[in-house]
Amino acid sequence: MSKYTPMIEQYLSIKAQAEDAFLFFRLGDFYEMFFEDAVKAAQELEITLTGREGGMEERIPMCGIPYHSAESYIARLIEKGYKVAICEQVEDPAEAKGVVRREIVRIVTPGTVMDGKTVGEAKNNFLVCVTSDQERYGLAACDLSTGELFVTVTDSSLEQLVDEINVYSPSELIGQPELLDKLQTTMAGWLPTKLLTGWDREDERLLGSQFPEEELRPVTPVGRESVALLLSYLSETQKRSLSHITRIEFYERQQHMTMDPYTRRNLELTETVRERSKKGSLLWLLDRTSTSMGGRLLRRWIDKPLTNRTEIEKRLEAVDCLYNGLITREELRQQLKEVYDLQRLVGRISYGNANGRDLIALKLSLRQIPHVRHICTTSGSVTLKELGDSMDDCADILQWIEEAIIDEPPVSVREGGLIKAGYHERLDQLREASANGKQWIAELERRERELTGIKSLKIGYNKVFGYYIEVTRSNLANLPEQRYERKQTLANAERFVTPELKEKEALILEAEEKMVDIEYDLFLQIRDKLALQVKRLQQLAETIAAADVLQSFATVGAAYRYRRPSITEQYEMSIAEGRHPVVEAILKDSSFIANDTLMANEDGRVLLITGPNMAGKSTYMRQVAMICIMAQIGCFVPADAAAVPIIDRIFTRIGAADDLVGGQSTFMVEMMDIQTMTAKATSRSLVIIDELGRGTSTGEGMAIAQAVIEFLHDRIGCKTLVSTHFHELAHLEETLGGLRNHCMAVKESGQDVTFLRKMIRGAASTSYGIYCARIAGLPDSIIDRAYDLLNRFETISSVMQVAGEAAAGKEEVGQLPAPGHVSTLPEAPSRPEMVRESAPIVQLSLFGDGEGHSKPASKQRSKADLAADKLVEQLQAADLINMTPLQAMNFLYELKTKVAAEMK
């Protein structure tokens, strides 16, 4: 029975240890893949699929990539959501007996990428681990490239867990398999992960070895479990020390404003809805950071606004100082521009990946720290002074690198040329010997030219033959045969060696080989020494990042004339001349129309906003939420003045599309969002609903809208902004004490309608939908027909209303039009305002004659009574709300026909 070769057997045994990953199997200068891995990798990487003999009759599928360019191929697979297991030779082939021993040295996954080209510089690459016990969920989020670790717990609500997962936008999610199944089943649309991995191999011992007890003490049991599970996964995949993960940042969810995934998307905090790009988001606007560390921290601050007033005020105090201190702000910006990404430099140093250039980047960064610290401590800001006082300039670390590493080291750490002269005595001696040897060779070349008279004679070197003397064929006759030994024949020349050249070559090569080994060992010693200082460098990086974000807030605030908000513990929110920060920035030369906002407990805690499409209702509501978020991250706000209360949670329902994958309609998604709002909102929450009640029939939509508004007003008491096209809801202002009607102002001039984008008190009378359709470019024929139909529908609506009032026993009635005149309704208006200028509708009489004139009651009394009774019965039985306009017209015509017949 045939079997695989020993090498393929080794491959299969190692592949069994990483079945869910591509196995990069090192063979010489290549990483090879076999079997299914090869077939799939060839497709994904667009490389050639070949085959090789493996002991069986059929050739084994195979593909490979050069080891020196493996990072780019690994990155492409990771971006597609795959894992890659790297298998290296861990034995010298020259000393191996049989097959060279190989082992998996690391498994790269989307959440464990360390390469700077793969992970975004200004964005964390989080691996998130989730666990559960009987009552709560634990969550641990780690960025392996920086060593940051955040831990929290949520209650038994799966929605809360998903909210918290989305704060980190993880590229990989691991956890107990049954919990991941539950998340994937119920919340798949809001798990923005490339990879989900069931993992339950918890190792509590890792906690004790990784962190001191004081770090673990604040963490709850389910939180500890999530950290233990995370460390177990990292240990299994990375197979090395995780010494740069030095601290657990445990926090309670109540410390930050809560926003669900819909709210984050609708408000476009870190990316836009349509293009999912940073440009056009709040992050894009506020990011004037000078360092990658600051860029990542800014994103986290936006994702997690504070709810602690004291902490918010500390940030605002620092921003205020820099806002008003142009010179200080610009000096700080310039100094920070020279600081490299300390967090990821430290991660590479600790991981053993850092090269000489990384150490120089660290040195250049540390040189800036005294200047940054001086600016902070002398700025006049209490908060900045605290940051400056906490900055460790790490002068000793700077000195270590300064003394040892040359200013422009090579990329590779294994080829020498790293260590400064004077740092190591033995290395200096070897360098001198090597330099003297090379000088001797140059002198030998000069001497041989004189002896032979061959001016083109030269001495060269390659790794195969070592040093050699090269002579062109035309000059071979001039060589002394007794001293020259032929080494190699070329097309136009011959290469020779001499006894004295061989002797000197041995000395030179021995010196160079020893120099490379010594330099490599010295570099490792320095890198290991720096790795022991990881915690100091990480703390320094955190303070630098915080200073960078604060100057970014000040820079943006000064550029757009933002003002410092007043953070209050009161209910009332007051914003004078508020603006939408992103829309204002994008408009540039255009003037953004500012609007005031006043929301008090008994005066406007619910704002019911009506008005035309395109008039600015959605922008206005979003800007209120944006101002609240900006205030709670410690940033100045786009307003002339703002008193902002602490908001614990923001809910939004703004223009979401149908959930086609989940099988949910727009209306169903809206109702699910409303359910979440009603269940979780508090009096400290802000609720924003755009076009409440759409997606179902007019009657039901209006009924649901009113019921929701009443519930939020009476039962919860939260600040609520509701826009609607149901103008009939304006009557709620009469019954709900805290509700105020507002609308977006419109100016009509001839055939033109101008949306003033100014919010005023009162309710709107129309939505100008057809006018918006005309602006959008619909054909004139459609626009004219729409106005015609609108006029007919409004006339029918008026007739039906009067008929209903008559059926209810109203005393004052007018006249019915003659039977058979349905088609003679007024013509469609040629401009929007003509809808309201059409002929007045007279009130109708149930007892008129065919021409609309009343007849004497004495002659018609008995017939009129009978007709009225039948008409009332039919009107009471009719489902007027759910009738279509055509059904309503037919119903009215039938009534008129019957009345006319009865009156004869």
Q: Hey, what amino acid is at 227?
A: V
Query: Does 616 appear as a known binding residue?
Result: yes
Q: d(Cα 566, Cα 549) in Å, to the nearest integer?
A: 20
The DSSP call for residue 658 is: P
What's the chain's Rg over C-alpha atoms? Answer: 39
List strand residue ranges (DSSP E) for 216-257, in order: 249-250
Cβ atoms of 292 and 341 closer than 8 Å = yes
**Cβ proximity of 303 and 316 under 8 Å:** no
- Tell me: is residue 680 an annotated ligand-binding position: no
Residue 611 counted as an annotated binding residue: yes
Residues near 424 by beta carbon (within 8 Å), at least 6 away in sequence: 518, 522
Dihedral sign (CA 161, 163, 167, 171): positive
- Annotated binding-site residue? 808: no
The 566-568 sheet, strands edge to edge = 566-568, 641-645, 573-578, 595-599
Enumerate the β-bridge partners of residue 383.
none
612 annotated as belonging to a binding site for a ligand? yes
Sorted by sequence, the CB contacts under 8 Å of residue 254 that are 6+ apart come out as 307, 648
**What are the tokens at 871?**
């008409």
Pairing of strands 60-66, 30-34: antiparallel
Q: How far apart are CA 787 and CA 769, in angstroms?
A: 10
Using DSSP bridges, classify how beta strands 249-250 and 641-645 pair: parallel, antiparallel or unpaired.
Answer: unpaired
Q: How far is CA 246 from CA 238, 310, 620, in A?
A: 17, 27, 45
The annotation status of 69 as a binding-site residue, yes or no, is: no
Integer angstrom CA distances of residue 509 from 410, 459, 465, 467: 20, 15, 12, 10
Coil, helix or strand for 840?
coil
Residues in contact with 145: Cβ distance below 8 Å, sequence separation at least 6, in sequence order: 113, 114, 116, 119, 125, 343, 344, 347
Q: What is the DSSP letter of 716?
A: I
266 is in an annotated binding site: no
480 assigned to a ligand binding site:
no
At residue 483's C-alpha, the angle toward residues 479 and 486, to 5°, is: 75
- Per DSSP, the residues of 841-895 read PPPB-TTB-TTS-B--HHHHHHHHHHHHHHHHHHHHH---TT--HHHHHHHHHHH
**695 phi and psi angles, rounded to 5 deg:** 95, -5
DSSP H helical ranges for 453-533:
499-531
* Residues in binding site for ATP: 611-618
Binding residues: 611-618
